[in-house]
Amino acid sequence: MTTQSTCPNCQQLLAELERLRAQLEEARKRIAALEAEVRRGRRSAAPFSRDEPKPDPKPPGRRPGRGRFRYRSRPPEEAIQETVEVPLEACPECGGPLEDRATHEQVQVDIPEVQPVITRFRTESGYCRRCRKRVRSRHPRQVSSATGAAGVSLGPRARALAADLKHRLGIPYRKVAELFRVAWGLEVTASGLCQADERLAEKAEPVYQELVEALRGSVAVHVDETGWRVGGQGAWLWVFTGPRGTVYIIDRRRSHEVVVEVLGPGFSGVLVTDGFRAYDHRALADWPQQKCFAHLLRELGRLQREKKRGAVRFPRELAGLLREALALREEKGRLEPAEFEARLQELEAKLDARIAEKRRFTDRDNERLARRLRKQRRHLLRFLRVEGVEATNNRAERALRPAVLVRKTGGCNKTPRGARTHAVLASLLQTLRQQGRETLTYLISVLTAPARLPPLFPPPAWDTS
């Protein structure tokens, strides 16, 4: 049992010690917050992560309602190609006799040994007096008319699969070449695959431009960017995505100029963005935008964790208003137009009151956030008035994940031509996946097309939102 000293000096020293302990604890929290800020600043080169884990994370595995759990179905009897009898004459342990015998069946599904299909095309050529040039026959399955030293080439299926593995799944060329050798006995080099992709991207360039033009007519376009490298120098990979199409751009700039060049100065849709300053440039001042609620809610959650006493009230009230807006969007289809408009106006009035310029803040972070939200005020609730506009920029962030995987495994690009190749092929592959189309089938049709390429957006139009 300890007794408290009655000495005035001792009491003063104890009080000073408690004050220093409180300052030390506050300093530790501040250091942890600054370290979190540093991690967020370096996120372009790090995996997606959270500052703090969720207290009740979802369990791994299949989500409820997404498919029915079941065992692998048994193939039909006519599909079984081989039956192997495995008799048991005696006990495998001691060699003793067996009684009460039973028969069991197990069906095994495996991949057969695959050998490359080697096809020789014998074509003919001749001189046409009318065209005044030499012409040559060509089979629809040919991807090249080269002869001589370059007369042996990869077929369309191998080229399409290599492009899909590299530019959508993020597998490096050397590992793709190793997979081809081990799985199918197909000898190919990483440089050969790289050159084949460059030629494929050049041929698919008109389809890529078609994708860009279609994106410009979309009701809403989500945009985001992540760090990249070209030849060891810093660059940025931009993503522009809509409901059924995605465009990747690799550029040295991280500015509004890239947005204007891709979507065009006359873009009339809604640009869904995060809080990056480039999207608030005066060149985009007349563009309808929607700021991402997910980013705002994360920032408000951080402020609620860090602030004390009265300073926590502002982020808590603002987060409640944002969630109220999301709930109103869910109820929109069940409300009468007049009731919806009345609730929306009430919500806007509350928001204006929270971030009003005349309101004084004692906390600098709250004041800074209120000033930014006043600047972006007309871009906060646009998703409640414009159909087809989402409240978050999650669509663009999901589209960036394949690019992040490629960056981690493939090391970005060594040349500007390689960067362009990746941008074109990744855009086509991601768009095909969004549309639910087979990537290999389409790439094969591009490789074997003699002149006119197959359309990327068959009717109806790609943006039905």
Distance between CA 385 and CA 391 in Å, rounded? 11
The residue whose two tokens read 């080169």 is 45
Query: Can you read off the two tokens belonging to residue 125?
Result: 């050529």
Tell me what pLDDT residue 36 has. Answer: 72
Distance between CA 414 and CA 170 in Å, rounded? 16
Distance between CA 251 and CA 412 in Å, rounded? 12
**Entry pTM:** 0.76
Q: Give the N- to C-terminal CA distance of the chain in Å, as an integer.
A: 74
Cα dist from 84 to 72, 112, 191, whole Å: 20, 16, 44
Tell me what pLDDT residue 166 has. Answer: 92
Tell me what pLDDT residue 135 has. Answer: 86
Pairing mode of beta strands 289-291, 133-136: unpaired
Tell me what pLDDT residue 335 has. Answer: 86
CB-neighbour burial class of residue 431 (10 A; exposed 0-12, middle 13-18, buried 19+): buried
Bridge partners of residue 273, in order along the sequence? 291
Contact 135, 126 (CB under 8 A): yes
Contact 181, 188 (CB under 8 A): yes
The per-residue pLDDT for range 442-462, each reduced to its tens digit, is: 999 888 887 777 877 765 444
Closest to 271 in 3D by CA, of 389, 174, 350, 171? 389
Tell me what pLDDT residue 46 has. Answer: 47
- For the chain, which ranges sit under pLDDT 50? 1, 44-47, 460-462, 464-465
> Which residues are CB-contacts of 194 (< 8 A; sequence separation ≥ 6)?
173, 418
Could you state, in order of their start, the residue ranges of all structural domains in the chain? 219-398
Sequential DSSP letters for 271-337: EEE-S-GGGGSGGGTTS-EEE-HHHHHHHHHHHHHH--GGGGHHHHHHHHHHHHHHHHHHHGGGS-H
Query: Can you read off the two tokens belonging to residue 28?
Result: 């530790």
Sequential DSSP letters for 235-265: EEEEEEE-SS-EEEEEES--SHHHHHHHH-T
Cα angle 165-167-172, degrees, rounded to a multiple of 5: 60
The per-residue pLDDT for range 237-256, each reduced to its tens digit, is: 999 998 889 999 999 999 99
